[in-house]
Amino acid sequence: MKLDSAGLEILARSACLDLLASTPIGRIVFTDHALPAVQPVNFSLLDGEIVIRTGIGSKLAAAVANSIVAFEADEFDPVRRTGWSVAAVGHARVASDPGEIDRLSRLPLTPWAPGTRDHFIVMAPEQLSGRRITS
């Protein structure tokens, strides 16, 4: 088991992807009017890319299109004080190819929030890192 300087277990890329696939909610981190911003989203993985569904003309799509964003998911157990987190950094784009949109529409990715959400933000993790706290 490889530990970082804070004593946390360093997770391999494959473990990071497995953990991301295990949870429906993550947080996208971006810059909004020159300030750091963060928004929870439900997401899905497709071919190692993170896919987020959003509304047409959403502030999120406008803020993240063609920019470098971070994405984070985690799960913690407050009683046992264990848990994991995975963070990805990469270039976000709004899907525009009709074939790709059709393919993304078939993902099991139903937004929890109300409203029509027919746009997809896709992020390819260029950096992917994960940590686990073991008891």
Residues that bind a copy of itself (CB under 8 A): 6-8, 24-25, 27, 29-31, 35-40, 55, 58, 68-70, 72, 74, 76, 78, 81-83, 85, 87, 89, 112-115, 127, 133
CB of 97 to a copy of itself, least distance (A): 25
DSSP string, the chain: --B-TTSPEEEPHHHHHHHHHT-SEEEEEEEETTEEEEEEEEEEEETTEEEEEE-TT-HHHHHHTTEEEEEEEEEEETTTTEEEEEEEEEEEEE---HHHHHHHHTSS---SSSS---EEEEEEEEEEEEEEE--
The nearer residue to a copy of itself, 87 or 104, going by C-beta atoms, is: 87
We find the least distance from the C-beta atom of residue 80 to a copy of itself, in angstroms, to be 9
Nearer to a copy of itself, 102 or 124 (CB): 124
Minimum CB distance to a copy of itself, residue 55 (Å): 7
Q: Pick between residue 102 and residue 127 the one whose CB is nearest to a copy of itself.
A: 127
